[in-house]
Amino acid sequence: MKPVEYKVSFVPCSTRPIRYDADLCIGCNRCVSVCQCDILLPSAKKGEHPIVMYPGECYYCGACVMVCPRPGAITLTHPLMNQAKFVPVVK
């Protein structure tokens, strides 16, 4: 059967929720499989880290980081709004 080629374009986005460390990632694609939003795509090259295709769709569940067998290979950065801690003021 003739292989089918797909061409996809990156979706511009102001956030970068997922970052890969190319030195640590072994390209096992577990993070791709676990993401329920299909944000990540496997790399066309075997052994390379996946591609963050739709960063704006990430809802920061952290499943991709938890399933990774190589600590540090994938990093999730929450947006500034989500990092805020609201501390009650005692008077």
Which span sits near ligand SF4 by CB under 6 A: 7-15, 30-38, 82-90? 30-38
- The count of residues interacting with ligand SF4 (CB under 6 A) is 31
Q: Please write down the HEC assignment for all residues of 60-85.
A: CCCHHHHHCCCCCCEEECCCHHHHCC
Please answer whether residues 69 and 21 qualify as being in contact, where contact means their C-beta atoms are separated by less than 8 angstroms.
Answer: no
Q: Which residues contact 64 (CB under 8 A, 6 or more apart)?
A: 18, 31, 34, 35, 40, 74, 76
3-state secondary structure of 32: helix
Which span sits near ligand SF4 by CB under 6 A: 8-16, 57-65, 81-89? 57-65
Give, as ranges, the residues between 2 and 21 that touch ligand SF4 (CB under 6 A): 17-18, 20
Q: Please tell me whether residue 62 binds ligand SF4 under the rule CB under 6 A.
A: yes
Judged by the rule CB under 6 A, the positions of this chain that interact with ligand SF4 are 17-18, 20, 25-31, 34-35, 37, 39-40, 49-50, 58-64, 67-70, 73-74, 76
